[in-house]
Structures are given as C-alpha cells and as structure tokens.
C-alpha cells in the first residue's frame, strides 16, 4: 500500500460495519453476497472486510467486492481488510483488481 502523501482522515475509533465473506462467493451465492454487502454499506463506516474464509470464488464474487470497494471510495468511507484467504488473494491477483481493493491511505 502506498504511503500516505496527503493529510490522513480523522482517526476512527474502529470499524462499525463488518463485511464477512463466506466460504463460497460464486455466482451461485452472488445475490446473497450482494444483499450482505448492501446491508453493511447501509451502516456508517469505516468497514472491515474479512475474506479469510473464502475457499471458492469466481469473477462474479470478486466483482461484488470491487463494487463495494468503489462505492466506499466514492463516498470516502474507508475500509480495511481483516484477512484474505489464499484463494481470494489468487483470484484478486489473476483478475488484476488488487489496486482497486486497497483503500488509499
């Protein structure tokens, strides 16, 4: 993650929304994952995303997380990752979406 060059936002007391990605985040679960993300997005940020349990994911699943991250970026609500499984890391890497999933410091 690049070092912060601009003034950092006011320190937060901790994440208020917690996004937990389940073991499966594929097109089969996409509707449920989207609903969960929307529910969390309705809470005030910042958010914590836990992807440590993911062991099945496809492009549909990754795209949902990207959409969530882009929404956060647009609204200026920070998020951070609580964990990413190896499967999730590999998918992010292969699809080239890594930079989109890091909230600028």
Partner 1 sequence: MTLDLTQFHEIFFEESFEALDAMEAALLKLSAGEVDAELINTIFRVAHSIKGGAATFAFNEVAGFTHVLETLLDQLRAGKRQVRPEIVDVLLRSGDAMRAMLVATQRKEVIDSTGVAKLRAELDRIMSESGSAAAPAAAASAPPGKPAASGDSAIPGWRIKFIPGPELLRNGNDPLRILRELATLGNLKVSVDAGRVPALNDLEPEVCCLRWNLEVHGEIDRAAVNAVFEWAESECELTIERVGGETAPASASAVAAPAPEAPAAPVQTPAAEATTRSANPDGGSIRVSIEKIDELLNSVGELVITQSVLSQLAAPLEGREAGELRSALAQLERHMRALQESVMRVRMLPISFVFNRFPRLVRDLGQRLGKKIELKVTGDTTELDKTVLEKIGDPLVHLVRNSIDHGIEMPDVRIAAGKTEQGTISLLAYHKGGNVIVEVSDDGGGLRKDKILKKALERGLVTNEVDLSEERILNLIFAPGFSTADVVSDVSGRGVGMDVVRRNINELGGHIQIFSKEGQGSTIRIRLPLTLAILDGQLARVGKEVYVVPIVSIVETIQVTRERVNAVASGGQVFRLRDDYLPIVRLHSLFDIEPDYTDLLDGLLMIVEADGKRVGLFVDELMSQQQVVIKSLETNFKQVTGLAGATMLGDGRVALILDIPGVITRFQAAPEERGVARPQAA
Q: Which residues bind partner 1 (CB under 8 A)?
A: 24, 26-28, 30-31, 33-34, 37-38, 41, 55-60, 62-64, 66-68, 70-71, 74, 86-87, 90-98, 100
Alpha carbon 14 to its chain centroid, in Å, reads: 16
Minimum separation from the CB atom of position 6 to partner 1 (A): 22
Buried b (16+ CB within 10 A) or exposed e, 17-41: bebebbebbeeebeeebbebbeebb
Q: Are 48 and 80 in contact (CB under 8 A)?
A: yes
Residue 52 zone, left/alpha/beta (φ > 0; ψ -120 to 50; rest): alpha
Measured in residues, the chain has a length of 105
CB 55 → partner 1: shortest distance, Å?
6
Which CB, 33 or 49, lies closer to partner 1? 33
We find the least distance from the C-beta atom of residue 51 to partner 1, in angstroms, to be 15
Choose between 56 and 82: whose C-beta lies nearer to partner 1.
56
Q: Which is nearer to partner 1, 7 or 46 (CB)?
A: 46
């Amino acid at each position: 993650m690049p070092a912060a060059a601009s003034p950092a936002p006011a320190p937060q007391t901790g994440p208020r929304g917690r996004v937990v990605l389940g073991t499966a985040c594929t097109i089969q679960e996409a509707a449920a994952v989207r609903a969960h993300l929307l529910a969390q997005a309705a809470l005030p940020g910042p958010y914590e995303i836990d992807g440590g349990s993911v062991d099945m994911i496809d492009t549909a699943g990754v795209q949902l997380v990207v959409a969530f991250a882009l929404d956060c970026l647009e609204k200026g609500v920070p998020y951070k990752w609580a964990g990413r499984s190896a499967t999730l890391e590999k998918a992010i890497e292969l699809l080239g979406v890594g930079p989109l999933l890091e909230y600028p410091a």
